[in-house]
Amino acid sequence: MSKQRPTIKLARAYDPPKSSTGHHVLLYAAKDEEHNNAVVLKEFLEHTR
């Protein structure tokens, strides 16, 4: 858990850019739309805010 703390702090401080509609924009460069870092970050942000 201690190795994850800097990553968690960074993720909580991260304020992704918003589109003109006010929604956050999460980009990913993976072929799998269901399993990628943007999905993980989205789920994390939804559960911590």
How far is C-alpha 19 from the chain's CA centre? 15
Kindly report, residue by residue over 12-33, the tens digit of the pLDDT: 677 767 777 877 777 777 788 7
Count structural domains, the chain.
1
Q: What does each C-alpha distance from 31 to 20, 26, 28, 34, 35 come to in angstroms?
A: 26, 15, 9, 9, 9
* Separation of alpha carbons 32 and 18, rounded Å: 23
Structural domain for 33, as ranges:
5-48
* Separation of alpha carbons 19 and 30, rounded Å: 21
**pTM (predicted TM-score):** 0.42
Percent of the chain whose predicted confidence (pLDDT) is above 70: 61
